[in-house]
């Protein structure tokens, strides 16, 4: 049943308008073109500058959901100075390029295509000489797209570990700390392979606080985590019995000092590496606040560092939004998590939205948007959802018990029945999530 209050449809339209403006602002192409420039024969990226007169070749490498779009923009800037390149992206995130080869691989669970892609990236980095420049384009998803399991760990075992950590509600920081210590690519190891070439990394951050070592597991950044940290995460999440013995054995051996660590801060391999953040969640929240304000809402940004269980965070933000004087909008950015206990399908934004819908059931003055800027929320085709006080009644009319759906982590089915899923398709960007609560 649709709400009879005319404020609800107009507020839903405003929320979708804000969402569209956010996706426009998160477009990687203009972000790369602003950050990467040619000026009087010099390559400029952030505070990095390099005279190209002594450079033999410029090679473009990359991994992540946005990296194909970033590569296309880099070609626009650098043109025929690019000698070639190779980028791996998630299925459906390909962009046309002229000099850089784009391939697809599995995400969020790595596959054999990703293993081959990681091997190719390492091979190309190893070929780079002291007179070459490697422009490395990295964005969220890059870690899963570049599995390079250290022997004797197999891809299947790494897949099992990834699924177990995701089911346990591991944060991206925890997931990547473990991944780095099972890999030949992550945790600064691409920079090690490229040494002594100059490396310029342009990163779209999908991680709260923009830590370079966490974005795609930091292939060109020093790794402050250790084997001991990885082992502690496995134990904290209670996963020793759920992941392959070969992984526990490797991490345990590393924690005992029997396996060399990933390169740490101060390692000489980073002396010729420059890492530049070209976009992050601040861009998302700032755009949302500006647009909602322009649409007539008293708008407040609660945080750009939201984290925690999606259903709990939904309740906390709703309490804060209810304290605002309408018409108002409470904006938040970041990334929640879901500890999977049921057998349903969904994602963090959908679980947030379903929990919020249950909390506002019957209300005529609240609309809630939760969506991931990459266009994919969990293993679904939805970016998230837009819910209101009639969402639960629409789901019920569609034959779904919303309370049971939330208990079973089955938010996708409930929100599909209510007609509230937000589908954008692959956005070819990834700057964390947007959460916005509108009061009228």
Which residues share a beta bridge with 39?
Answer: 42
Percent of the chain with pLDDT over 90: 93
Q: Is the pLDDT of residue 8 over 90?
A: no
* Ramachandran area for residue 354 (φ above 0: left; ψ -120 to 50: alpha; else beta): alpha
What residue has token string 């405003």? 14
**192: helix, coil or strand?**
helix
Per-residue pLDDT at 1: 42
Which distant-in-sequence residues (6+ apart) come within 8 Å of 338 by Cβ? 169, 309, 310, 346, 347, 348, 351, 378, 409
Q: Is the pLDDT of residue 5 over 90?
A: no
Q: For 316-366, how does the pLDDT look when each residue is reduced to its tens digit (9 = 90+)?
A: 999 999 999 999 999 999 999 999 999 999 999 999 999 999 999 999 999
| Backbone phi, psi, residue 234, to 5° | -55, -45
Quote the CA–CA distance of 41 and 325 in Å, as a whole number.
55
Per-residue pLDDT at 67: 97
Quote the CA–CA distance of 284 and 291 in Å, as a whole number.
11
Query: With bands split at pLDDT 50, 70 and 90, how would you rate the model's confidence at 4?
Result: low
In DSSP notation, 405-436 reads HHHTT-HHHHHHHHT-EE-----S----EEEE
Q: For 37-61, how does the pLDDT look when each residue is reduced to its tens digit (9 = 90+)?
A: 999 999 999 999 999 999 999 999 9
More confident call, 357 vs 172:
357
Q: What is the mean pLDDT of residues 388-400?
A: 98
Per-residue pLDDT at 119: 98
Which residue, among 20, 12, 8, has the nearest Cα to 427 in the 3D structure?
20
Q: For 400-433, how does the pLDDT look when each residue is reduced to its tens digit (9 = 90+)?
A: 999 999 999 999 999 999 999 999 998 999 999 9
Token digits of residue 329? 């909008």
Sign, Cα dihedral of 188, 228, 277, 371? positive
Quote the CA–CA distance of 349 and 316 in Å, as a whole number.
15
Which residues share a beta bridge with 336?
Answer: none
Distances (CA, A) of 409 to 197, 400, 406, 433: 47, 13, 5, 19
User: What pTM does this model have?
Assistant: 0.89
Quote the CA–CA distance of 46 and 410 in Å, as a whole number.
43
Token digits of residue 427? 């956005």
**DSSP character at residue 150:** P
Residues 351 and 338 sit within 8 Å (Cβ to Cβ): yes
Per-residue pLDDT at 2: 46
Quote the CA–CA distance of 122 and 186 in Å, as a whole number.
10
Residues 145 and 162 sit within 8 Å (Cβ to Cβ): no
Range name among 3-12, 217-226, 335-344, 390-399 with the lowest pLDDT average: 3-12
Which residue, among 259, 271, 268, 187, has the nearest Cα to 228 in the 3D structure?
259
**DSSP character at residue 90:** E
Domains of the chain, start order: 7-23+282-439 (3.40.1480.10), 29-279 (3.40.50.10180)
Quote the CA–CA distance of 166 and 30 in Å, as a whole number.
33
| Backbone phi, psi, residue 325, to 5° | -85, 120
Q: What is the mean pLDDT of residues 212-232?
A: 96
Q: What is the mean pLDDT of residues 55-70?
A: 97
Q: For 146-156, how does the pLDDT look when each residue is reduced to its tens digit (9 = 90+)?
A: 999 998 999 99
Residues 388 and 360 sit within 8 Å (Cβ to Cβ): yes
Residues 281 and 205 sit within 8 Å (Cβ to Cβ): yes
Which residues share a beta bridge with 42?
Answer: 39, 51
Which residues share a beta bridge with 131?
Answer: none
Quote the CA–CA distance of 106 and 398 in Å, as a whole number.
33
Per-residue pLDDT at 108: 86
Token digits of residue 291? 């647009």
Distances (CA, A) of 134 to 7, 184, 201, 202, 275: 53, 18, 8, 11, 12
Q: For 302-317, how does the pLDDT look when each residue is reduced to its tens digit (9 = 90+)?
A: 999 999 999 999 999 9
Quote the CA–CA distance of 232 and 253 in Å, as a whole number.
13
Q: What is the mean pLDDT of residues 117-129?
A: 98
In DSSP notation, 379-391 reads SSS--EEEEETTH
Quote the CA–CA distance of 419 and 7 in Å, as a whole number.
18
């Amino acid at each position: 049943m649709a709400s009879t209050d005319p404020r609800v449809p107009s507020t839903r339209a405003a929320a979708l308008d804000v969402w569209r403006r956010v996706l426009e602002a998160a477009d990687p192409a203009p972000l790369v073109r602003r950050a990467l420039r040619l000026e009087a024969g010099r390559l400029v990226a952030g505070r990095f500058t390099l005279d190209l007169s002594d450079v033999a070749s410029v090679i473009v490498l990359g991994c992540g959901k946005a990296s194909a779009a970033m590569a296309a923009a880099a070609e626009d800037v650098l043109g025929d100075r690019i000698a070639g390149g190779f980028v791996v992206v998630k299925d459906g995130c390909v962009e046309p390029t002229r000099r850089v080869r784009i391939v697809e691989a599995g995400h969020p669970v790595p596959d054999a295509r990703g293993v081959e892609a990681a091997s190719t990236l390492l091979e190309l980095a190893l070929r780079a000489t002291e007179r070459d420049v490697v422009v490395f384009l990295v964005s969220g998803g890059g870690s899963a797209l570049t599995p390079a399991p250290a022997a004797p760990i197999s891809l299947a075992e790494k897949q099992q570990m990834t699924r177990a950590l995701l089911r346990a509600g591991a944060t991206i920081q925890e997931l990547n700390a473990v991944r780095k210590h099972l890999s030949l690519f992550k945790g600064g190891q691409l920079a090690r392979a490229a040494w002594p070439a100059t490396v310029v990394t342009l990163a779209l951050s999908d991680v709260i606080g923009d830590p370079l070592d966490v974005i795609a597991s930091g292939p060109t950044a020093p790794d402050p985590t250790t084997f001991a940290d990885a082992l502690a995460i496995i134990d904290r999440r209670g996963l020793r019995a759920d992941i392959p013995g070969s992984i526990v054995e490797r991490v345990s051996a590393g924690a005992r000092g029997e396996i060399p660590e990933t390169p740490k801060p101060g390692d000489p391999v980073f002396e010729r590496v420059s890492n530049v953040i070209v976009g992050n969640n601040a861009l998302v929240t700032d755009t949302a606040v500006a647009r909602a304000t322009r649409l007539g809402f008293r708008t407040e940004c609660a945080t750009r560092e939201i984290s925690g269980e999606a259903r709990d965070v939904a309740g906390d933000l709703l309490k804060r939004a209810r304290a605002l004087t309408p018409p108002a909008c409470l904006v938040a950015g970041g990334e929640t998590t879901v500890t999977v206990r049921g057998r349903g399908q969904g994602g963090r934004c959908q679980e947030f939205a379903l929990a919020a819908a249950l909390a506002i059931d019957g209300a005529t003055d609240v609309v809630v948007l939760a969506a991931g800027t990459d266009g994919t929320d969990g293993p679904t085709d939805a970016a998230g959802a837009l819910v209101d006080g009639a969402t639960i009644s629409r789901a019920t009319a569609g034959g779904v018990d919303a309370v049971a759906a939330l208990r079973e982590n089955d938010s996708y089915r409930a929100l599909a029945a209510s007609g509230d899923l937000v589908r954008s398709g692959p956005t070819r960007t990834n700057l964390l999530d947007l959460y916005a609560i509108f009061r009228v």
